[in-house]
Amino acid sequence: MTAEESKSTYSGTSEYGGHPPSSITEDIYPVHTLDDIKTLRMFINWTMCFNDVLDPEKLHNSLSRLLNIGDWRKLGGRLRLKDDGKLEVYVPRPFTAEQQAVTFTHADFGMRIEEHPVACRFPRPTDRPYIQHISQDFLPFMARQNFPTTIEEMIRQKLPQISLHISSFSDATLVALTWPHTMMDAIGQQDLLQGWSLVLAGEEQKVPPFLGAREDILLEAENSTNYKDQGEFLLERNRLTGMSKLIFIVRFLWDKFWNPPREYRLVFLPRDTFERLQRRIQGEVAETAQSGAHIPFVSEGDILTAWVTRVVASSEPKPRPITVAIISNARFRLPLLINSEGVYIQNMLCLAFAFISSQITRGAAGPIALSHRRQIAEQMTEEQTLHLLKTMRRDIESRGNPRFEFGESNAGIIVFNNLTKADIIKAAHFGPAVLRQGEAENSRSNLPGTMKAFFARDLNMAVPAVNDFSMLGKDYDGNYWLRGNLLPRAWKKMEEELKNSWRTD
């Protein structure tokens, strides 16, 4: 049975959810500067697999109820372009059957998930590592048919920002959330899932306050007395300008022309496979320490970043330096945000950079991990973060996007996004919506109503022109879920590494 043959329901007065009658009043919310970045005008999708049969109406109703609480209403609004080309959010007051907070669709397949020719290939934990291509075949489980292909199309159709698409099987449920990246980052998604779970459990009073809906807390941080404009912005030492910038652009275009397209794939690392990798790299780190000296600390994120960096570098025809761009989150770098008594559902993403020489990239992964940790730590202080935020804001207001032109002119680029702090797989607790347990207690490690597996990507399946790798997080067994956009030769190298990690201890 296909999605077209399955039972499907859609909440709204038309295929596009209807248009608001002129008599309905609305609330207007701003889109903050770090949200209104042109490169964020894309759709993010998380497709979550639950090994239980969930009640789709309970999930829809509880999510809609959450978006009726205080300024959580902002997430139920519609995007609109202002005359100056910037975005704002308008929220119907109140939400109605014609103007709902969420676009909701449901498909019931009436079979076990393993019996479906495509759904049976949904990523799942195994005892061995693997690399899996996520193809266009998965799109019917990610969003409804005729989902808008651009943010501009969503604006024209006056659709809610959040789309909830549920696929039901007789032993499992796929819950797919899609939203424009202008709405929030992964930590915002974590807060959304936790708030949604509280409402579903009848604990609405525990939902945290939605902070910063109208006032940008990052702007407040930039203007705080802790920010010292006289201090040096460390990254400026490595900014590309003039001829070096021109060489970088020409080299980038040359690589893009001669290389085949990058490929999006999901990587599953069982816990024991990661532990082997961890022991190996920690041993390499220990070898760098002088006799009797303290062995430097490297995190799990440092280890994974170093491993992928070495794989990509060793797949290059010739040695070259690597610029490692790390997506980090200001929530964990500014005391004003760490000590908040509510949640900020917005984008607080910023970048830090590690510049790895060609000599180090072709060697062991341990020195890469150490270099990465040292450089990132220097850039993640409160003062350096505020410098970066101010620089980003100036760029966005003048040209729509921040400029991240740092490193050597002949360097390869890898963008890393470590989402393990968001802990998405453990953020949703949908136990009250369980109609029937899909997997027996003796074969599962997660509680009923919690996630078994997941994947995330741009809904349009666009592939960036640079190497891009994300640590999506760990599941209940401690297995790592990763995703990447790499050249075919890098994927081949990684497959060889994973085979070797399985054969040897």
Per-domain residue ranges of the chain = 7-218
Which of the four pLDDT bands, split at 50, 70 and 90, describes residue 464? confident
Paired tokens of 299: 């995190």
C-beta atoms surrounding 499 within 10 Å:
12
Question: How many whole angstroms from its chain centre is CA 45?
Answer: 9
Residues in the chain: 505
**Distances 186 to 63, 75, 193, 377 between C-alpha atoms, Å:** 17, 14, 10, 22
Tokens 């659709």, residue?
A: 159
Cβ(373)–Cβ(296) under 8 Å?
yes
Return the active site residues: 181
pLDDT in tens, 213-248: 999 999 999 887 655 555 789 999 999 999 999 999
Q: What does the DSSP assignment read for 128-153?
A: S-EEEE--GGGHHHHS-TT--SSHHH
Which pTM was predicted?
0.92
77 DSSP 8-state letter: S
Q: Which CATH architecture has domain 7-218?
A: 2-Layer Sandwich (3.30)
Cα–Cα dist 131/492, whole Å: 10
Strands (E) in 374-466, as ranges, are: 412-418, 434-437, 451-458
pLDDT of 499 over the 90 cut: no
pLDDT of 500 over the 90 cut: no
For residue 418, what are the contacts with CB-CB under 8 A and spacing of at least 6? 301, 304, 305, 326, 327, 470, 471
Choice among 17-21, 38-42, 55-59, 238-242 with the minimum mean pLDDT: 17-21
Cβ(485)–Cβ(262) under 8 Å?
yes
Cα–Cα dist 191/71, whole Å: 14
